[in-house]
């Protein structure tokens, strides 16, 4: 693959920076990754696998991991076809990568298991060299008038290996944190030459959905509901954590998007977060609505809503200034 083809595949301008190349590759790879198309029909799966392979090769060409083929390089005489050039670049790439690729999978476990530890049954992939292409990713398409062309192996989708599934019991240590990675040496992608070695399989632990704890970017989170009076004037609320009950102080008028941090009370000493929610049933009661409106009138009559009065005055002045 030539660089101009690689730039087009990744939708980049010529001379793009290394950072932009990586960003474009990750974006394109995420779109066509086989794991995101396992629910499609066989034809679409093969097409996406082939596209994913081309995108990967385009990135390696632009990143300098494989050599760009010469424009008039021949294979069996004459000018080479795109498939010939692609096969040659793929051959060069595989010469530099003799070891199997590392593979990462996610396994969801119950939070109680992460806290207490124990065994759980998981499913892992098992990789074997594709017998059709012998791990070369491409197969001979045709030989005609001195030209040879290649195409991606449809049996392995251009990966060079075929995976099956296997169940096994895995030991989960006590206080296993969200995102913990466990390595199974030699259980990843198969090696590509006798002197190479198989890749490793990494198992990343995530937690199953829970009716009390939620998984967010920051870590475990509890949505704590409080009464309207506590939300207005402040107070406290008790929440359960993986280490036991904790009392959380609630600031008055806390914003809905603000998270309260409880240090060290998550799994394995991680922090846990609390999101304060006001009981919505208050706003469905007509009597409560009347009470809130009466409170507003009372505060206005007592002239203590200084910030509101100041804002209303500034609004009036701004409208006059703009002549609106």
Tokens of 260: 């309260």
Pair (103, 197) in one structural domain: yes
Q: Among 173, 204, 235, where does a domain finish?
A: 204
List, for residues 166-196, the tens digit of each pLDDT value: 898 999 999 998 888 999 998 888 877 767 7
Residues 177 and 115 in one domain: yes
Region 198-225 average pLDDT: 87
For the cut 60, the answer to whether the pLDDT of residue 14 exceeds it is yes
Instruction: Say yes or no to pLDDT of 145 above 70.
Output: no
Q: Does 309 score more than 90 pLDDT?
A: no
Residue 155 domain boundaries: 99-204
Whole-number Å distance between alpha carbons of 232 and 227: 9
pLDDT > 80? residue 54: yes
Which stretches of the chain are DSSP H helices? 3-9, 18-32, 42-62, 82-96, 111-116, 228-233, 286-301, 306-321
In this structure, the answer to whether residues 196 and 123 fall within a common structural domain is: yes
Count up the domains in the chain and report the number.
Answer: 3
Question: Contact at 8 Å (CB) between 99 and 196?
Answer: yes
In a domain, 58, yes or no: no
pLDDT in tens, 222-235: 999 998 889 989 99
Give this prediction's pTM.
0.52
How large is the average pLDDT for residues 13-40? 76
Distance CA 18, CA 21 (A): 5
């Amino acid at each position: 693959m030539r660089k101009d083809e690689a730039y087009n595949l990744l939708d980049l301008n010529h001379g793009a920076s290394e950072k932009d190349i990586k960003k474009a590759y990750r974006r394109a790879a995420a779109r066509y990754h086989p794991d995101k198309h396992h629910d499609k029909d066989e034809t679409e799966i093969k097409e996406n696998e082939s596209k994913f392979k081309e995108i990967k090769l385009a990135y390696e060409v632009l990143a300098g991991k494989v050599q760009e083929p010469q424009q008039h390089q021949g294979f069996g005489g004459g000018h080479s076809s795109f498939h010939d050039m692609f096969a040659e670049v793929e051959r060069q790439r595989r010469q530099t990568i003799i070891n199997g690729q590392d593979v990462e999978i996610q396994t969801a476990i119950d939070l109680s298991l992460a806290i207490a530890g124990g065994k759980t049954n998981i499913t892992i992939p098992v990789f074997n060299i594709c017998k059709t292409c012998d791990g070369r990713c491409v197969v001979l398409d045709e030989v005609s008038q001195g030209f040879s062309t290649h195409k991606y192996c449809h049996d392995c989708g251009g990966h060079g290996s075929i995976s099956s599934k296997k169940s096994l019991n895995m030991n989960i240590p006590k206080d296993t944190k969200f995102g913990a990675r466990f390595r199974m040496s030699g259980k990843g992608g198969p090696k590509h030459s006798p002197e190479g070695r198989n890749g490793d399989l990494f198992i990343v632990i995530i937690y199953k959905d829970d009716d009390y704890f939620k998984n967010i970017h920051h870590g475990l989170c509890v949505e704590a509901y409080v009464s309207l009076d506590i939300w207005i004037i402040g107070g406290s609320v008790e929440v359960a954590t993986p280490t036991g009950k904790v009392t959380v102080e609630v600031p008055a008028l806390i914003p809905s998007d603000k998270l309260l941090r409880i240090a060290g009370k998550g799994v394995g000493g991680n922090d846990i977060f609390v999101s304060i929610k006001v009981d919505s049933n208050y706003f469905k009661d007509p009597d409560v609505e009347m009470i809130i409106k009466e409170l507003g009138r009372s505060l206005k009559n007592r002239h203590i809503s200084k910030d509101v009065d100041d804002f209303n005055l500034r609004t009036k002045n701004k409208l006059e200034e703009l002549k609106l």
